[in-house]
Structure 1
């Protein structure tokens, strides 16, 4: 392990579910030539500043997620998309520390492959399906040039995140409310999950 971010220790020291499983995963990742930091409130493992993997504590399980997981060979079908809109990331779910130990060699091989992808500069070809701008967002952009410019200046991933969030609301009033709730963040150039 090249570098360690001291903020990460608090994550692992927290008296929360899956503490043992998360520490076991961390031990495996720390033996790889990765840097450890905290991103999106979770430990993130990078190779030369490129995101390789992250560890998540969720309600009913913990997970080791690979940012380019869709490119990893997964002959046993252990990796799963974290959500229905996930195009590139894949996660390996754990519920017991014995499961982490049983799959240690598989985890090591996935980590090594993920690092190799970064070293080779491999990019994921994402499905760039056109995302629909909801009418409420279009109206807001037509009425507020600063808001329109700020939204269009967001990175494609940040725009996509907002569009998915806005569009999943079934009622117009909810879409308007979501847009209003995130206006300040958009004007600051931040994504939904940025600090």
Structure 2
């Protein structure tokens, strides 16, 4: 991943012309440019508004509170239906198919929403639904339970979901065995270790 927006754009040669055009449009809107998660992100008063992404089959924008944008033409995509609550993508497969007036409209809406303090309400503090297998492991190992409780609610939900989403009992057991030492180390499931 690049350390600058120029690095990011130059590494994505297939989409380079389109990415450069998106960058120009966003910078003209007055947002501040930065790099987060190895990709260009544009902020307003340190709040994420929009980012640029490049993927195998498309490039485009992702709006951090895109679910609040007025989109009567259904141009915005939810990358993970049922999981992603706020984020929406505007995808392109060529620079030529980019509709600048549509892009500017979405940018204006996103900026106005951010200025007005509008955000998708995501309940990040809700307690996770603990699978029975994980509850039983907590009963057998109080240190495991204490370390789990010390994790953020988001990390707790990741672990609970990791077990719950497995279809086969043996997969659930294998996953439980894998996560116990990670939890005991005080790390999240997706942390780099």
Bin of the TM-score, shorter chain as denominator length = 0.7 to 0.9
- 1:108 to 2:104 alignment: yes
Name the counterpart of 2:51.
54
Deviation at 1:131, TM superposition (A): 5.0
Name the counterpart of 1:135.
132
2:33 to 11, 25, 36: 36
Deviation at 1:112, TM superposition (A): 1.7
2:7 to 5, 10, 18: 10
Deviation at 1:141, TM superposition (A): 3.7
Name the counterpart of 1:23.
20
- Distance in 1 between the 2:192 and 2:46 partners? 18
1:120 to 116, 124, 127: 116
Deviation at 1:92, TM superposition (A): 0.9
2:190 is paired with a residue whose SS is coil
Higher Cα Rg: structure 1 or 2?
A: 2
Are the counterparts in 2 of residues 153 and 189 from structure 1 also a CA contact under 8 Å? Answer: no
Are the counterparts in 1 of residues 34 and 40 from structure 2 also a CA contact under 8 Å? Answer: yes
Structure 1: stretches of 5+ with no match in the other structure: none
- Distance in 2 between the 1:26 and 1:193 partners? 30
Are the counterparts in 2 of residues 60 and 95 from structure 1 also a CA contact under 8 Å? Answer: yes
Deviation at 1:14, TM superposition (A): 0.5
Runs of 4+ in 1 over 6 A off after TM superposition: 127-130
TM-score (normalised: structure 2)? 0.78
1:19 is paired with a residue whose SS is helix
Deviation at 1:121, TM superposition (A): 1.4
Deviation at 1:183, TM superposition (A): 5.2
Structure 2: stretches of 5+ with no match in the other structure: none
Deviation at 1:30, TM superposition (A): 1.7
Deviation at 1:67, TM superposition (A): 1.1
- Distance in 2 between the 1:193 and 1:82 partners? 22
Are the counterparts in 1 of residues 12 and 54 from structure 2 also a CA contact under 8 Å? Answer: no
TM-score (normalised: structure 1)? 0.77
